Each structure stands twice: as C-alpha cells, then as structure tokens.
Structure 1
Amino acid sequence: MEMKEFYYQDGLRVSVFNLDHKAVPFHFHNAVSDMMYCSQGRIVIELPDTDEVFTVEPGEVFQVPSPSRHRFGNAAPVGTLSRYVLLQIGTFDINFVPAAEELAEQFVDRTRTPVVDGTVHIGDRRADIVKLADHFEQEKPEVLTPQEQADVVAALRCFVSRGIETEHPQAAVQP
C-alpha cells in the first residue's frame, strides 16, 4: 500500500492511495468523514458497525459516515493495483482500531453491495473544491505521477458534481 498525502490546507485534505492487496487498517474519525473516489481497479469498504460491505468501481464515490469504523481494501483480482483519491473536509483526526484482526475475520467471503451513483456531503465547500481541481489541473504536486494528477482532478470534479451542500450526518453507531 502506498499513501501520498499532498494537500492539507484550509480544512481540505487530499490524498492518493495505491493499494496492492493489503487493506488500510481499520480506523475511524471523530471530526471528518472519508470521501473516496475509485480511479482504478475496485475498492472494497468494510463497515463493521453496520455489518456492511461495499464495492466501488472506477468513477464512483463513497462516503463513510463518521465516526464509523471502516477500512478500504483492494477488491480487484490479485496482482491488479487499485487506486482511490481521498478527500476529507474539516480538522483531520484518525483513531486506529485495536484487535482489528477479529474484525477482518467478519468480512471474509462476505457478499458486497455495489455502489452506484453515490453522493457525498460537501457542506459549503463546493467553490473551494472547484478551485482546488482547477489548481491541480494546472500544477502537478511533485509526489504524484501524471496519471495520479489526472485522477485527483477527476475525483475533485466528481465530488463537486455529486456533492450535496450539507454536512454529512453522523452515524448512529459509536465505535
């Protein structure tokens, strides 16, 4: 797994994750919600608090309700890289889940729900996200490849086009 965090200003944090077949560890956020855009391969999202598993295909988005425990993994065939762009709005926090191996066992061979036409909650940040997409279209962050740059721009524009101008509701469950 490779994480490239390259932008965190004014309450917007953008990262790119290139996943081999190791999942991001189970974690949760109290102050932000993960918005992800699948740009390559297939991403699986496991949510133990609601006992749900989702798959996200290229061009689709998914938003994890905060503070739900979750992890992202590569659901593409073995040997195929999957990539997602992550956008978080607000003050970043992360809490890793102890004894995550037990959680992972719950999801072995679990039926996955495909995400189609997902939406994300972007609050009042639409103009900021558009400005950021325009910026990254013109200037490539040093840590990104040209393809990753294009993926970031596509992700930000997708978040805007599918964005609902409300805050994401808090999950009913507590981790």
Structure 2
Amino acid sequence: MEMKEFYYQDGLRVSVFNLDHEAVPYHFHNEVSDMVYCSRGQIAIELPEAGEVFTLHPGEVFQVPRTNKHRFVNGAPVGTHSRYVLLQIGAFDINFVPPAEGLAEKVADREATHVADAEVYIENREGDIRKLAEHFAVEKPEVLTEEEQGDVVQALRCFVDRGIAAEHPRAAVQP
C-alpha cells in the first residue's frame, strides 16, 4: 500500500492511495468523513459494525460517515493494483482500531454491494473543491505521477458533480 498525502489546507485534505493487496487498517474519524473516488481497479469498503461491504469501480464514489469503523481493500483480482483518491473536509483526525476487535470476521462472508451512482455530502465547499480541481489540472504536486494527477482532477470534479451542499447524515450508512 502506498499513500500520498499532498494537500491539506483550509480544511480540505486530499490523498491518493495505491493498493496492492494490503488493506488500509480499520479506523474511524470523529471529525471528518471519507469521500472515496475509485480511479483504478476495484475498491472494497468494509463497514463491519453495519455488516456491509461496498465495492466501487473506476469513476464511482462512496462516502463513509464519520464515526463508522471502516477500511479500504483492493477488491480487484490478485495481481491487479487499485487506486483511490480520498477527500476529507474539516479538521483531520484518525483513530485506528486494534486488530483484536475481530472486525474482519464480521464481514468475511458478506457479499459486496456494488455502488454505482452514489452522492457525496460536500457541505458548502463546492467552489473550493472546484478551484482545487482547476489548480491541480495545471500544477502537479511533486509526489504524484502524471496519471495520478489526472485521477485527482477527475475525482475532485466528480465530488463537485455528485456533491450535496450539506453535512453527511451521521445516523445511517447509505450508498
């Protein structure tokens, strides 16, 4: 797994994750929700407390509401790399969950639900996210490849296009 965090200003945090077949550890956030855009391969999002697994294919988005324990897994066939772009709005925080909690077992036999047309809740940040997409369209962060740069621009534009000007509802996990 390779994480490239390259932008965190004004309450917007953008990262790129390249996944081989290692999963991002289970974690949750108290202050932000994870907005995920699949740019390569297939991303599986495990939400063990809800007993759900969701999958994304390239061009699809999903948002994990804050406080939900989750992890991201490469859902593509072995040997196929997957990539996702992560956007978070607000003050970043992360809380890793000890492996002893046995969360993986809660979703081990669960068939994944494919998410195709999800929406994301972008609060009142549409203009900021749009400006960020345009900025990255002409200026490549040093840590990114040109392909990753294109994925970031595409992801940010997708978040704007599918964005709802509201905070994510906390109660339910809905794709």
Q: TM-score, structure 1 length as denominator?
A: 0.96
Q: How does 1:1-175 map to 2 (within 5 A)?
A: 1-99=1-99, 102-171=102-171
Taking only the aligned residue pairs, the percentage that are identical comes to 72
Superposed displacement of residue 107, structure 1: 2.2
Query: How many residues in Structure 1 have an aligned counterpart in Structure 2?
Result: 173
CA distance in 2, matches of 1:148, 1:100: 35
Superposed displacement of residue 100, structure 1: 5.2
CA RMSD of aligned residues (A): 1.2
Amino acid at match of 1:145: T
Superposed displacement of residue 49, structure 1: 1.6
Query: Deviation string for 1:53-112 (max 9, x for gaps)?
Result: 100010000000111000000000000000000000000000001135711122224200
CA separation of 1:100/1:161 partners in 2, compared to 1, >3 Å: closer, same or farther?
A: farther
CA distance in 2, matches of 1:34, 1:101: 22
CA distance in 1, matches of 2:171, 2:142: 36
Unpaired stretches in structure 1, ≥5 consecutive residues: none
Contact 1:25-1:100 at 8 Å conserved across structures:
no
The 3-state SS of whatever aligns with 2:67 is coil
Q: TM-score, structure 2 length as denominator?
A: 0.96
CA separation of 1:128/1:2 partners in 2, compared to 1, >3 Å: closer, same or farther?
A: same
Unpaired stretches in structure 2, ≥5 consecutive residues: none
